[in-house]
Amino acid sequence: MKNAFPSSRSAAVLMLAAALALSACGEKAKKTGQALASVNGEEITVLQLNEEMQRSGVQAAQQDTARKQLLEGLIDRQLLQNEAAKDKLERDPQVMQAIERAKAMIVAQAYMQKRIGSQARPAKGEVEQYYQQHPEFFANRKQFDMRQLVLATKDVSEQLKSQLDSVKSLEEAAAWLDGHQIKYVRAGLTRTSTDLPPELGARLAAMPKGQLFIIREGERSMLIQITDVKDSPLSLDAATAQIEQFLFNKKNKEAAEAEIKRLRSTAKIEYFNKADTTAAAAPAAPAAAASPTPPAQQAAASQSSADEAAARGVAGLK
């Protein structure tokens, strides 16, 4: 989500100030827990640490280390909240607006979670049916091995694009970039057809080995070459957990959309600015009911941020 606040305010301080104000209503509950530390007289309790642990989703084997790190993080946050309070940042109009927005989102999400929190997990038959209906994700899955040169988008000139029509390998392209003193970084990339939208996977599968293409992603671009395409089938047993989560998320999304539709149908909604009525789509459901991610894309999310960025670039192939 992009920050809508002016650059004159630190986004981190604004978030901390909002957290400080939002915690005011729960201050009494905060003090009832066993204190673990004190920061200039402000206690940090077991309840707070347990909540942080729950939100972080730390694995059991790492909990001891994580508790220490999270406690230090709570201390740092309290220090910043104290300083934000001294500067009366909670009275800043933009911070106040952010606080109201955060409150509204929290309450809306809590309502939605209450309404859709009891959705049934997908049955075995549903999982098997999804598996059979999408062989491109599973039984007929393909693996794409690729190499890439990452460079600044501003350096992707018409001359470079014209040169790519004649080069036959990534090494030739790298030599041309070296000769023109254009900086780049080499990287490898492996994706399967389940990591990509079906139409994109089909296009990559149809490309000959060695094919070069450019992907633009904001201020950087990737010059990519396919080095290999091979079969990589995924069995039903291996895919079951991902399919279950995907179908569960899908049910939640559909339930959230149905609830929003019900509420809109019974509400009296008036528009006072005609320009705001031009949007055809209804407002998005709260974040708790976000759109489900296809099964294997969920698995890809655990990779490094640089690799994720490269994946988004491939997904944007035109």
Per-residue pLDDT band for 57 (boundaries 50, 70, 90) equals confident
Q: What is the dihedral of CA 67, 73, 76, 82, to 10 degrees?
A: -90
End-to-end CA gap in the chain: 24
Identify the pLDDT of residue 32.
54
Residue 311 has pLDDT above 60, yes or no: no
Lookup: tokens for 123? 């049955």
Distance CA 94, CA 18 (A): 10
Distance of alpha carbon 141 from alpha carbon 5, whole angstroms: 44
- Per the listing, tokens 């399967």 go with 192
| pLDDT tens profile 248-283 | 999 989 999 999 999 999 999 998 877 766 555 445
Q: How high is the pLDDT of residue 231?
A: 92
288 pLDDT more than 50: no
- pTM for this structure? 0.57
Which residues touch 277 (CB under 8 Å, ≥6 apart)? 271
pLDDT band at 64; cut points 50, 70, 90: confident
User: Rounded CA gap, 50 and 254, in Å?
Assistant: 32
Q: Does residue 117 surpass a pLDDT of 80?
A: no
How far apart CA 120 and CA 146 sit, in angstroms, is 40
pLDDT given for residue 113 in this prediction: 87
HSE on the CB side for 168, CA within 13 Å? 0
Cα–Cα distance between 169 and 114 in angstroms, integer?
A: 56
